């Protein structure tokens, strides 16, 4: 074939995203693609490319610059991005997700360079189904937000797009959901953030947030449009200021869940089950104070109620183990204000006229074994609070879960020092390990990425018609059993994040089994598989960035085979195959 031109084949649309310009392409592939001469001559291995990426990353001095480089890498070579991410998941997750994604969202309008995902505006209603036709791929899963409660950072309008983009990257990295099967979706329904509305660089509608009734009308149209376009789509809601109406309205009619309420509940229960075991205190003797009674706090407590019930408590006994504090103090039935509906279930009626004075006084009164933070108030677990918990308990359970790190109720170091290294700890954002009394202590991270990828993949593979409470709970239980012997021996609450692909298989299997038990699965042939067979089935369906060649396909394999007189199948053993496999 001529050196620099495509053989007798039709012109081909080149795509940077799928690696058409990748330096690992062999000369044959470059000729086939028509990129011969358009890339530097060297044919590089993945290791070399990865080394360059990591060096480039190290040259960036701030987390936001590193974030921007990773956005660029994903846009220019998606498979390389997922290889680098997969091999450095522990180091890179804080850059593509919390905490850095928080800063990226705050500054989204300043740092935006290229489109990712879809935006649907209030003014688009009536046409949502048509607009979805503009999306170029088939979709397995979407993460959608209205930007109204981005981490603990408040209403950021369409700047919130960073969250669906980041979460979907984790669906791919952790559970192998194909990148082109994911749709980040940001609803542009106005924003209550006046500063953003007035910022000349803001990229959303400059109108106040629509009413709850209008949002419901919009979501009704959107849910119908999404499932009409992609009948098996899994729809994950994220970072809504008030997520409860949508969960209630759609959970039985669509394959949907809300990760802040249900995923957070599951991931915290997953670590909590191990914390309860490690505390040495029987389940019946635990008592919990929650600082923050929002969607995440109540979501976590509801899943813990399920766990307590499975451990033999009645629902009433389980419910009464919780004391919630919100911005108006202890959540009680006789407080004098109208409680938001989601708080009523846990509102206390045994306050005996006592007024809430402070978190410290409440700890003295309740004597809790567990202190959870989902309040968005950074530093709320002061030295005094932590020392009180340490005085009351041999192994106090302290979970400061607010994100990003600046909103965490305390740091790992503060918790360790003020409980003399005895706390059972998990946070929302990552903290470094530290030495205490000659021992290296590693903080747990109650990171939803342990469960949502498996919930999503389980729903996709089982073709579930809805995501049931049992599926969510199964993800928590599966997570709690996924620690290996060493992790258990070291007293960890969560498995090593570097094993996330293995963990996601266990979680996915649990979710599929629960879907089968509930009869919501449509892939009924999977019911016959043993657990080992189901694990293999799941693994086979996971996207593997090391084995990507669909961009080239059989056409080039055939061509290479003919040109080289060899069997040029991409998984073969010659130099050509290495190039194809590393597209
Ligand atoms: N796994 C994880 O790491 C996850 C962490 N989160 C984090 O949890 C936090 C809360 O999320 P979410 O529940 O959805 O948010 P919400 O806004 O729904 O809830 C925040 C809660 O904190 C309460 N609060 C605010 N100020 C105070 C105060 N001074 N004292 C006591 N309580 C206060 C609010 O009170 P009021 O109700 O009166 O307004 C509300 O109940 C966020 O930072 C989020 O990032 C969320 C999901 C997963
Ligand atoms: C982790 C997450 O979902 C949140 O903080 O909102
Ligand atoms: Mg969230």
Sign of CA pseudo-dihedral 58, 56, 89, 235 = positive
The pLDDT tens digits for 90-144 are 999 999 999 999 999 999 999 999 889 999 999 999 999 999 999 999 999 999 9
The per-residue pLDDT for 15 is: 62
**Residue 577's pLDDT is what?**
30
Which pLDDT score is estimated for 10?
57
pTM for the full predicted model: 0.91
219-236 pLDDT, tens digit each: 999 999 999 999 999 999
Residue-wise pLDDT tens digits, 238-249: 999 999 999 999
Q: Is 258 in the pocket of ligand 2 (CB under 6 A)?
A: no
Q: Minimum-distance ligand to the CA of 153?
A: 1
Query: Which mutation among 375, 445, 453 tests ligand 1's pocket best, with the greatest number of atoms within 8 A of CB?
Result: 375
Report the pLDDT value the prediction gives residue 14, as an integer from 0 to 100.
62
pLDDT at position 393, please? 98
Query: Does 349 count as an annotated binding residue?
Result: no
Q: Which of 237, 376, 428 has most ligand 1 atoms within 8 Å of its beta carbon, as the pocket-test mutant?
A: 376
Q: pLDDT tens digit string along 458-501?
A: 999 999 999 999 999 999 999 999 999 999 999 899 999 999 99
What is the tens place of the pLDDT at every residue in 340-385?
Answer: 999 999 999 997 777 889 999 999 999 999 999 999 999 999 999 9
Exposed/middle/buried for 64, CB within 10 Å: 0-12, 13-18, 19+? middle
Which tops the pLDDT comparison, 202 or 549?
202
- Residue 425 CA, ligand 1 centroid: distance in Å: 18
How many angstroms separate the CA atoms of 75 and 353, rounded? 59
Query: Quick one: pLDDT band at residue 569, thresholds 50, 70, 90?
Result: very low
Would you name the residues annotated as active-site residues?
97, 167
- CA angle centred on 87, ends 84 and 90, rounded to 5°: 105
Atom of ligand 2 nearest to the CA of 403: 5
DSSP at 261: I
Cα 105 to averaged position of ligand 3 atoms, centre (Å): 13
Residue 335 marked as a ligand binder: no
**97 CA distance to ligand 3 middle (Å):** 10
Tell me the ligand closest to 239's alpha carbon.
3
Between vectors from CA 136 to CA 130 and to CA 138, what angle results, nearest 5°? Answer: 90
Give the ligand whose atoms come closest to the C-alpha of residue 98. 2
Pocket-testing residue among 402, 403, 455, ligand 2, by greatest number of atoms within 8 A of Cβ: 403
Query: Alpha-carbon distance 327 to 500, whole Å?
Result: 36
**How is residue 373 written in tokens?**
């933070």
* Separation between Cα atoms, residue 4 and residue 16, nearest integer Å: 19
Higher pLDDT, 429 or 20: 429
Distance 363 CA to ligand 3 centre (A): 28
Q: Which long-range contacts (CB under 8 A, 24 or more apart) does 539-545 make?
A: 539/505, 541/176, 541/457, 541/461, 542/175, 542/176, 542/457, 542/501, 542/505, 543/82, 543/172, 543/176, 543/177, 543/178, 543/179, 544/176, 545/78, 545/79, 545/80, 545/82, 545/83, 545/86
260 labelled binding-site residue: yes
Q: Is the CB of 451 under 6 A from ligand 1?
A: no
Atom of ligand 1 nearest to the CA of 448: 1
Lowest mean pLDDT among 32-46, 199-213, 465-479: 32-46
Q: Does the CB atom of residue 448 touch ligand 2 within 6 A?
A: yes
Residue nearest atom 4 of ligand 2, based on CA coordinates: 151
CB of 239 closer than 6 A to ligand 2? yes
Q: Ligand 1 pocket, 262 CB below 6 A?
A: no
- Which residue has its alpha carbon closest to ligand 1 atom 11? 296
Could you report the predicted ipTM of this complex, rounded to two decimals? 0.99
- 286 or 567: which carries more pLDDT confidence? 286
Helical ranges in 230-282 per DSSP H = 244-250, 264-279
For residue 151, the CA-to-ligand 2 centroid distance in Å is 5
Per-residue pLDDT tens over the stretch 143-152:
999 999 999 9
Instruction: Answer for the pair 278, 492: CB distance below 8 angstroms, yes or no.
Output: no
Return d(Cα 462, Cα 387) in angstroms, integer.
47
User: How much of the chain exceeds pLDDT 90, in percent?
Assistant: 83
Confidence of residue 77 (pLDDT cuts 50, 70, 90): confident
CA–centroid distance, 13 to ligand 2, in Å, is 38
**In ligand 2, which atom is closest to the CA atom of 259?**
3
Which residues lie across from 257 on neighbouring strands? 236
């Amino acid at each position: 074939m001529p050196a620099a031109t495509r053989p007798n084949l039709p012109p081909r649309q080149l795509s940077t995203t799928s690696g058409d310009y990748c330096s690992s392409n062999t000369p044959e592939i470059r000729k086939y693609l028509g990129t011969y001469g358009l890339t530097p001559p060297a044919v590089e291995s993945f290791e070399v490319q990865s080394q360059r990426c990591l060096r480039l990353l190290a040259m960036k001095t701030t987390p936001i610059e590193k974030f921007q480089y990773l956005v660029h890498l994903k846009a220019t070579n998606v498979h390389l991005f997922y290889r680098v991410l997969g091999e450095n998941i522990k180091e890179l997750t804080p850059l593509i997700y919390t905490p850095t994604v928080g800063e990226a969202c705050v500054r989204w309008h300043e740092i935006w360079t290229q489109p990712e995902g879809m935006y649907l505006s209030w003014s688009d209603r009536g046409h949502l189904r048509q607009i979805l036709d503009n999306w170029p791929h088939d979709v397995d899963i979407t993460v959608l937000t209205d930007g109204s409660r981005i981490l603990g950072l408040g209403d950021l309008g369409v700047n919130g797009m960073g969250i669906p983009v980041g979460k979907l990257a984790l669906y791919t990295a952790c559970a192998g959901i194909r990148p082109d099967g994911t749709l980040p979706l940001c609803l542009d329904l106005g924003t209550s953030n006046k500063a953003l509305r007035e910022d000349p660089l803001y990229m959303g509608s400059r109108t106040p947030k629509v009413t709850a009734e209008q949002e419901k009308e919009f979501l009704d149209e959107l849910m119908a449009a999404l499932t009409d376009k992609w009948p098996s789509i899994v729809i994950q809601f994220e970072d809504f200021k008030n997520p409860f109406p949508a969960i209630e309205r759609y959970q039985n009619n669509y394959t949907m869940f809300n990760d802040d309420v249900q995923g957070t509940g599951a991931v915290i229960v997953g670590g909590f089950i191990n914390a309860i075991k490690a505390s040495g205190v029987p389940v019946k003797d635990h008592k919990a104070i929650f600082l923050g009674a929002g969607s995440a706090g109540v979501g976590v407590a509801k899943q813990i109620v399920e766990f307590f019930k499975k451990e033999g408590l009645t629902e009433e006994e389980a419910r009464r183990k919780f004391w919630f504090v919100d911005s108006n103090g202890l959540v009680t039935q006789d407080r004098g204000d109208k409680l938001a509906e989601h708080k009523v279930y846990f509102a206390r009626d045994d306050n005996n006229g006592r007024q809430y004075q402070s978190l410290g006084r409440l700890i003295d009164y309740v004597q809790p074994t567990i202190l959870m933070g989902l309040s968005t108030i950074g530093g709320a677990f002061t030295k005094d609070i932590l020392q009180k918990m340490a005085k009351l308990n041999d192994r106090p359970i302290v979970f400061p879960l607010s994100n990003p790190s600046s909103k965490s109720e305390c740091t790992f170091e503060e918790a360790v020092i003020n409980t003399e290294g005895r706390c059972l700890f998990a946070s929302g954002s990552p903290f470094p390990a530290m030495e205490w009394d000659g021992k290296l202590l590693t903080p747990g991270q109650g990171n939803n990425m342990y469960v949502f990828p498996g919930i999503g993949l389980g729903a996709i593979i089982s073709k579930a018609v809805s995501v049931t409470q049992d599926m969510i709970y199964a993800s928590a239980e599966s997570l709690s059993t996924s620690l290996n012997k060493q992790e258990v021996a070291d007293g960890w609450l969560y498995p090593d994040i570097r094993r996330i692909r293995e963990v996601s298989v266990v979680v996915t299997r649990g979710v599929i089994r629960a879907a089968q038990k509930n009869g919501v699965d449509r892939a009924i042939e999977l019911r016959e598989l043993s657990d080992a067979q189901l694990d293999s089935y799941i693994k086979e369906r996971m996207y593997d960035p090391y084995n990507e060649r669909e961009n080239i396909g059989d056409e080039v394999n055939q061509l290479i085979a003919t040109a080289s007189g060899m069997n040029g199948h991409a998984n073969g053993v010659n130099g050509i195959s290495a190039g194809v496999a590393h597209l």
